[in-house]
Homo-oligomer: A and B are copies of this chain.
Amino acid sequence: MPNLPIVTRVRELQARADRERAAGRRIALVPTMGALHAGHLSLVAEARKHADSVWMSIFVNPTQFNDPKDFEGYPVDTARDLALAAEQGVDVVFCPTAEELYPEGAQTWVDVQGLTDCLCGASRPGHFRGVTTVVAKLLLAARPHVAVFGQKDFQQCAVIRRMVSDLGFGVEIVAAPTVREPDGLALSSRNVHLGPEARLQALSLVRALDAAEAAVARGETDRAGLLAKVRAEIDSAPLAALDYAELCDPDTLEPAPPQLAGASLLALAVEFSPDAPGRGGRVRLIDNRVLGPNPSAQ
């Protein structure tokens, strides 16, 4: 493994950040929960475009798991992660302990209202409060110029952008496109928990996005009709249970009007049962696509 500095203390990372900034070097942070896959590595490549020094944090943040079983089962392979980060040319890895980021008696939360009420925020109470709190801590620790997140977590990107703007972090938030398996499944650290049959049925998410996109391309604008197509695709997968499928404004995340006008975010979350009873727990997958007029062309 190349010589990859591993920092575990906030103070040490801040001192490094001060030195880099004083030398006029730009820092990009890629926050991760480890279990790195090609999606994370694409974030590192994106970060490299924006900075002289690319830092990755690896921290499985307990406060963003609304389900303790999900937290306990979250895949951890730190040695492999560090090797991948080094190969990818990451300059510094920040691996704090939970005690380092949540000091004894910690009772401070960063909370974004409004944007967090819907979609994953409605399904996972407290999830985004955990995300914004830990991202605030990571940004304060790394003092980056840029932070890069994956667009698969579309709502997370929107919430973090809002937090960074509202509090004035002075950090640019870059959202990088979702990386997919050859068959279309969005990469996720949770995919490893899918049994072979659930893995096949997980393609229902991308089929649902494709069906809605094709309908919009044919001129369909009826929100209910589009969502019915999405539900039909998910319902066709016996192991799948739809958590939510929504069409919303890509900026405010407010529900799209009954007749779509302009670009709309189609976001969905689906829970997959184990292939057979007793073969692991349920696996929750999310995916999304912006439908309709290209937002950048508006």
Q: A11-B170, A168-B10, A169-B140 are in contact. Are A108 and B110 (CB under 8 A)?
A: yes
Q: Decide: A106 and B11 in contact? CB cutoff 8 A.
A: no
Nearest-CB distance from A186 to chain B (Å)? 28
- Please tell me if the beta carbons of B107 and A168 are within 8 angstroms of each other in the complex: no
How far is it, in angstroms, between the C-alpha of A51 and the C-alpha of B166 when the chains are bound?
28
Residue interface mask A36-60, B partner, CB < 8 A = 1: 0000000000000000000000000
Map CB proximity to B onto A1-26 as digits: 1 under 8 Å, 0 otherwise: 00000000011001000100110100
Query: Interface residues of A toward B: which range?
Result: 35 or more
A23 closest partner in B (C-beta): B22
Once the chains bind, are B109 and A10 in contact (CB under 8 Å)?
A: no
Tell which of A69-77, A111-119, A203-211, A226-234 binds the partner: A111-119
Copies of this chain, complex-wide, total 2
**A137 with B167, Cβ < 8 A, contacts A18-B21, A22-B22 known:** yes
Judge whether B21 and A167 touch: CB under 8 Å.
no
Residue of B nearest to A110 (CB): B110
With the chains together, A167 CA to B168 CA distance in Å? 15
| Shortest CB distance A146–B (Å) | 15
For residue A163, CB closer than 8 A to chain B, the reply is: yes
- Does A278 interact with chain B (Cβ within 8 Å)? no
Is A101 an interface residue when CB atoms closer than 8 A count as contact?
yes
A178 at the B interface (CB under 8 A): no
- Chain A residues 124-179 with CB under 8 Å of chain B are 132-133, 136-137, 140-141, 162-163, 165-170
Query: Does A107 lie within 8 Å of B162, measured CB to CB?
Result: yes
Is A103 part of the contact surface with B, judged by Cβ < 8 Å?
Answer: yes
Which residues of the partner chain B approach A109 to less than 8 Å between Cβ atoms?
A: 110-111, 113
Nearest-Cβ distance from residue A161 to partner chain B, whole angstroms: 11
How far does the alpha carbon of A108 sit from the alpha carbon of B132 in the complex, in Å?
A: 9
**Interface pair B108/A163, CB less than 8 Å apart:** yes
> Nearest Cβ in chain B — how far from A110, in angstroms?
5
Residues of B within 8 Å of A166, CB to CB, are 102-103, 106-108
Quick one: which of B102, B132, B137, B170 contacts A140, CB cutoff 8 A? B170
Name the B residues within 8 Å of A136 (CB-CB).
167
Which residues on A are within 8 Å of B, measured CB to CB? 10-11, 14, 18, 21-22, 24, 101-103, 105-115, 132-133, 136-137, 140-141, 162-163, 165-170
15 other contacts beyond A107-B115, A108-B132, A110-B110, with CB at 8 A cut-off? A11-B170, A18-B21, A21-B21, A21-B22, A103-B166, A107-B112, A107-B113, A107-B114, A108-B163, A109-B113, A111-B111, A133-B167, A136-B167, A140-B167, A140-B168
